Amino acid sequence: MYRVSADPNSEPTPTDPVWWGWGRADRHHALPAATRTLLTGLFGVSGEPTPPVAPGDIRLPPVRSSAAARADLVAAVGADFVRDDARSRIAHCRGRSTPDLLRIRAGDASDAPDLVVRPADHDEVLAVLAVCATRRLAAVPFGGGTSVVGGLVPEPAGFDGVVAIDLARLDRLLAVDPTSATATFEPGVRGPRAEELLAGPGFTLGHVPQSFEQASIGGFAATRSSGQASAGYGRFDAMVVALRVATPAGTWELGRAPASAAGPDLRQLVLGSEGAFGVITAVTVRVHTRPAVTIYEGWRAPDFLTGAAALRTLAQDGPLPTVARISDETETAVGLATATDPVPDVAGGCLVVTGYAGSPSDVEYRQAAVGRSLTAAGLTPLGSAAGDAWARGRFEGPYLRDALLDVGVVAETLETAGFWSTLPALYAGVRDALTAALAGDGSVAPLVLAHVSHVYPTGASLYFTAVFPAGPDPVGTWRAAKNAASAAIVAAGGTITHHHAVGTDHRPWLDAELGPIGLAVLRAVKDAIDPDGLCNPGVLVPARPGARPAR
């Protein structure tokens, strides 16, 4: 987000992140006239842009932390790297879910941190946590600020303030081990920068989620992120071989070997922990030889379940492409209606995208074998243009979401995963729950889109997008729909989150996922590492009723 070392009184540049939406200012564009006309027909909205409030009209709470606490933090990291100006606080307020943006666009910054602190290294992070413990401050690690599940909204009750620990200065590639094919990063390295740093030694991480341009290495680990090429490279948590964590109890180092039988793998307690147990300050990951060839292609499936079954065959029998995904009929149709270069010959069916990265011979072999498998399953090849069109628009979804908000239309997402045998019921249950909850009085039908983007031998993910008119209470409308969809997920045996993490949004359903014993284990870990409960309180691990941090 905004660099806290920048002059808070300076004007933002076109490449700076915006406070009211996703990513960079120069990447935002108004909806085309044809799209506005389509939305007017679907939802009855005017199609005229409604901008967010002026920055000066944003309602910020007063800073609660004491002058003594600020002085201690200055002593820990330097005066230039402790901020309480409005611009810095607003830039670190919440994440980038649609409800987050709806609230900030309306001028509500009530969850803004009191202070933004920017440590330079692991030792300074430890020092910041020590100040937070002494001065009764909640500590929230902040990487790319891309959480969409309330992961940056702590429960501050009982604390004397909230500190956002911005990790942007921890932005180095610490080591590359070409023999073992591993690399060690500090947590503030963003996705594109990680690829730049690995290009010199000839490696790639291969982790490209939709948040790639904004999210950080530490965030990938803390949320169990999964990227578009997970079929080829795996989820991020599967890439991690070692971690270093700054905790209120001290330094915690995990991962001495590629595999171990020395008890349970405690790395898994940190992966997905969302800052509840401490601040990740170094991540060692498996890297791959940089591919010589990367290509994409499209296929048409006659229907969603047929296409999903074809991907199941690839996941179980191989060979797998590097990228494997299918959009359902509605998502395919919306893509055709809004694309500047629509895919030919896919109308009435479902778009399947496959991608291949590797050596020329490997890509040639897998592309041919996958093609034979998909053809045998009844899919029709569409050629490289369809795949290339998808790849070109890969990072534009969040910007389109913001443009829709400008004209009074909400587009929000949720995701889950299930076993192949239960996937059809899970898909139907969540789709129907969202449709019913968002239909309201029935006068306007929402659009509910879905796709599979991550496949495993035993099952797959499902990613849903709901599009509906904002109405008078869009946050409340979405909350009710999300509750209905989450209940449907639990009833169908799916996971409450496949790669977005828990945050505070999914926490009400964590008991159904982990059970009381699992929740007790998480609580015991937090009590051992963070006895005062200062690390991202209320995120992932529910705060104890009436609990107050120790003096």
Tell me which of 14 and 532 has the higher pLDDT. 532
Domain count, the chain: 2
Q: Would you say residue 105 lies in a domain?
A: no
Residue 85's pLDDT is: 97
- How confident is residue 545, by pLDDT bands cut at 50, 70 and 90? low
| Structural domain that includes position 369 | 293-392
Structure token digits, residue 444:
């306007």
Question: What's the pLDDT score for residue 35?
Answer: 83
CATH number at residue 263: 3.30.465.10
Residue 61's nearest CA partner among 6, 2, 104, 113 is 113
Question: What is the Cα–Cα distance from 512 to 284, expressed in whole angstroms?
Answer: 32
Segment 32-38 shows an average pLDDT of 83
pLDDT tens readout for residues 57-66: 999 999 999 9
Which residues have CB under 8 Å from 127's CB, separation 6+? 76, 77, 119
Residues 257 and 302 in one domain: no
Q: 195 in a domain, yes or no?
A: yes
Is the pLDDT assigned to residue 8 strictly greater than 60? no
What pLDDT, in 10s, does the model give residues 183-242?
A: 999 999 999 999 999 999 999 999 999 999 999 999 999 999 999 999 999 999 999 999
Between 90-99, 294-303, 332-341, the lowest mean confidence (pLDDT) is in 332-341
Give me the chain's average pLDDT, please. Answer: 94
Are 348 and 247 in the same domain?
no
Does residue 443 carry a pLDDT above 60?
yes
- Are residues 318 and 380 part of one domain? yes
In a domain, 188, yes or no: yes
- 532, 548 contact by CB (below 8 A): no
246 and 279 housed in the same domain: yes
Lowest model confidence (mean pLDDT) among 16-20, 203-207, 440-444, 544-548? 544-548
The contacts of residue 165 (CB under 8 Å, 6+ apart) are 117, 118, 119, 125, 128, 139, 140, 141, 142, 279
Same domain, 348 and 285: no
Q: What percent of the chain has pLDDT over 90?
A: 87
Q: Is the domain of 284 the same as that of 177? A: yes
**Spatial contact of 267 and 254, defined as CB atoms under 8 Å apart:** yes
In the structure, what pLDDT confidence band is assigned to residue 444 with cuts at 50, 70 and 90?
confident
**pLDDT at 46 exceeding the cut of 90:** no
Average pLDDT for residues 247-262, to the nearest whole number?
96
The percent of residues in the chain predicted with pLDDT above 70, rounded, is 96
Residue 1 has pLDDT above 50, yes or no: no
